[in-house]
Amino acid sequence: MKDRIKVEEGSGNVFADIGLPDAEERLAKAELALRIADAIRARGLTQTRVAALFGIDQPKVSRLLRGRLAGFSTERLMRFLTLLGRDVEIVVRRAPRSRAKGRMRVVRAA
């Protein structure tokens, strides 16, 4: 008989699952960085060109594209998306009664 591997379903937020602080913000930043990488790839831009567009140096673009997001605020990542020709919408609504706190998330438009 083979050993069974125990699998636990995640919450949808790996940062929360491993107990990191500010898990929702970390996930939102990761999603924004993914959208930035997608837009850069779609436009066929080099890191040097992206650096000039964003007003940062190329090593920072490299860190961004490798998911090293400590030096980037959510607001800054949203600004980068607009510089890449993407619209960013922020929707604020009341959380359902089943949750005491609201949540933050990035949703890809259809």
In DSSP notation, 28-95 reads HHHHHHHHHHHHHHHHT--HHHHHHHHTS-HHHHHHHHTT--TT--HHHHHHHHHHTT--------PP
Domains (range + CATH), the chain: 14-83 (1.10.260.40)
Q: Please give the Cα distance from 64 to 95 (Å, whole number).
A: 31
Residue numbers of the chain with a pLDDT score lower than 50: none
pLDDT one-digit tens code per residue, 3-23: 888 888 888 899 999 999 999
Q: How does the average pLDDT of the chain come out, rounded?
A: 93
Are 27 and 15 a contacting pair, CB within 8 Å?
A: yes
Q: What is the pTM of this model?
A: 0.85
